[in-house]
Amino acid sequence: MTDTPLFEHAVVVGIGLIGSSMAHAMRERGLARKITGCDADDAVRARAQEIGIVDAVSADIKKAAKGADLIIIATPVQAAADMIRDIAGASDPGTLIVDVGSVKGAFAGKARALQTHAHIVPCHPVAGTEQSGPDSGFASLFENRWCIVTPLERDAPGYRAAIDKAIALWKAVGAQVEVMDAGHHDIALAITSHLPHLLAFTLVGAADDLETVTQSEIIKYSAGGFRDFTRIAASDPTMWRDVFLTNKDAVLEVLGRFTEELAVLQRAIRWADADTLEDVFSRGRNIRRAIIQSGQETDAPNFGRDKENR
Ligand code: NAP
């Protein structure tokens, strides 16, 4: 730890994938003198202590918030929106409160309406895996990933400095930071994250319902593409329930666009329109290349799976 860590006492509320990864990363980089983990589940609190990512644990968020200079809310989106009033009310003036939710409008809406001397800076680290729980976290999760910061429209004294401190936190755990408004975030993420998850859930569910293809065939031939959708479809159901409940308008907008594109392909297949098919598929390949060039994906074949796991 450096002599003057960024924070004296950080509280992580919700010790799942993102919460435990933040605790790991802050610990590894010496970003907080003390870390307290808050979780309602006795077993999760005990496990967080066993792994050694927290100095203390608490089931009482309001008590834990007292004396903290950083609070990271890492619960599903609806729970974060529900608890922000209590957390802000219990916090000391000047405490930085960040959330990590995948939808920003709902949380920002609740936070904006609060009278508080704490500084709430909504954030979304665009980094994750399909795992959940305290054992799934790791310190390098945020490295070279983007974190989107969506500040509230506040001109309270100290708020600008709090935004800078939140940005410094994300950079210190290895992320690159982009600042935008919550509405823009929600539409951008609807296309890049929420729609892909919806499609994966739908595809895996549809395969499960297909009576002409047996369950054993679905598993046996899954390397044809299906298994890559199952990774996304294995994500936490509560987290994704909340994403679709709180980002309804943006998801319905991009779903409408997607349905139109699907109809174009359906027509091209029906009428053997080879040019349209090739054109659409080429755009897909180009986007994949751009993602690899930007460093957000490996260019190793088959997502870098080793030979044994192909
Ligand atoms: P996770 O591994 O399932 O962890 C969620 C944590 O929140 C658990 O500790 C859980 O407590 C707690 N929790 C759940 N419901 C709660 C409630 N009603 N009140 C209080 N605590 C509650 O989930 P995660 O993947 O870390 O996701 C956390 C947040 O990060 C979500 O808002 C999600 O949108 C966002 N996010 C996720 C990803 C990703 O890829 N997974 C990426 C970026 C952002 P228990 O232990 O008691 O169940």
How remote is the CA of residue 78 from the centroid of ligand 1, in Å?
A: 10
Residue 207 and residue 166: Cα distance in Å, rounded? 43
Enumerate long-range contacts of 47-50, CB under 8 Å, 24 or more apart: 47/15, 47/134, 47/135, 48/15, 48/20, 48/23, 48/134
Is the CB–ligand 1 distance for residue 189 below 6 Å? Answer: no
Distance 74 CA to ligand 1 centre (A): 5
Query: What confidence score (pLDDT) does residue 308 get?
Result: 61
Instruction: Say if ligand 1 is within 6 A of residue 84 CB.
Output: no
Q: What was the pLDDT predicted at 307?
A: 63
What pLDDT, in 10s, does the model give residues 247-263?
A: 999 999 999 999 999 99
> Which residue lies with its CA nearest to atom 17 of ligand 1?
79
Q: How far, in Å, from the CA of 13 to the mean position of ligand 1?
A: 9
State whether the Cα torsion 12-129-134-39 is positive or negative: positive
pLDDT tens per residue across span 154-203:
888 999 999 999 999 999 999 999 999 999 999 999 999 999 999 999 99
Which residue has the CA at smallest separation from atom 39 of ligand 1? 128
Burial class (CB in 10 A: 0-12, 13-18, 19+), 212: exposed
User: Could you read off the pLDDT of 260-305 as tens digits, one per residue?
Assistant: 999 999 999 999 999 999 999 999 999 999 999 999 888 888 777 7
pTM of the complete model:
0.94
Instruction: State which ligand 1 atom lies nearest to the alpha carbon of 125.
Output: 43
Q: What's the pLDDT at 309? A: 61
Q: CA 79, 104, 97, 88 torsion: positive or negative?
A: negative
Nearest-CA residue for atom 13 of ligand 1: 75
Q: Which atom of ligand 1 is nearest to the CA of 77?
A: 32
Q: In this predicted structure, what is the pLDDT of residue 3?
A: 73
Per the structure block, which two tokens stand in for 73? Answer: 């809310």
Q: In the prediction, which pLDDT does 208 show?
A: 85
* pLDDT computed for residue 2 by the predictor: 56
Rounded CA-CA distance 171/186 in Å is 22
Q: What is the pLDDT of residue 302?
A: 78
For the chain, what is the mean pLDDT? 94
Ligand 1: which atom is nearest the Cα of residue 80? Answer: 32
Confidence of residue 1 (pLDDT cuts 50, 70, 90): low
**Tens-digit pLDDT profile for residues 85-126:** 999 999 999 999 999 999 999 999 999 999 999 999 999 999
| pLDDT at residue 200, rounded to an integer | 96
CA 228 to ligand 1 center in whole angstroms: 23
Residue 32, strand partner residues: 7
Distance of alpha carbon 232 from alpha carbon 198, whole angstroms: 9
Q: Strand pairing partners for 71?
A: 11, 97
pLDDT band, very low/low/confident/very high, at 310 (cuts 50, 70, 90): low
DSSP assignment letter at 69: S
245 lines ligand 1 (CB under 6 A): no
Rounded average pLDDT over 21-40: 98
- Quickly state the pLDDT bin for 213 (edges 50, 70, 90): confident
Is pLDDT of 61 > 70? yes
DSSP state of 122: E
DSSP string, 179-214: E--HHHHHHHHIIIIIHHHHHHHHHHHHHHH-SSS-
101 lines ligand 1 (CB under 6 A): yes
Contact 23, 136 (CB under 8 A): no
For Cα atoms 175, 149, 297, give the angle at the middle one, nearest 5 degrees. Answer: 40
CB within 8 A of 287, min separation 6: which ones? none
Interacting residues of 144 by C-beta distance below 8 A, sequence separation 6+: 174, 175, 176, 295, 296
pLDDT score of 46: 98
Distance 14 CA to ligand 1 centre (A): 6
In this prediction, what percent of the chain has a pLDDT beyond 70? 98
User: Which pLDDT band holds residue 63 (cuts at 50, 70, 90)?
Assistant: very high
- pLDDT given for residue 32 in this prediction: 98
Tell me, what's the pLDDT at 39? 96
Q: 246, 238 in Cβ contact below 8 A?
A: no
Q: Within its chain, how far is the Cα of 2 from the centroid?
A: 28
Dihedral over alpha carbons 113, 151, 142, 191 (to 10 degrees)? 80
Smallest Cα–Cα separation from 103: which of 286, 240, 269, 293?
A: 240
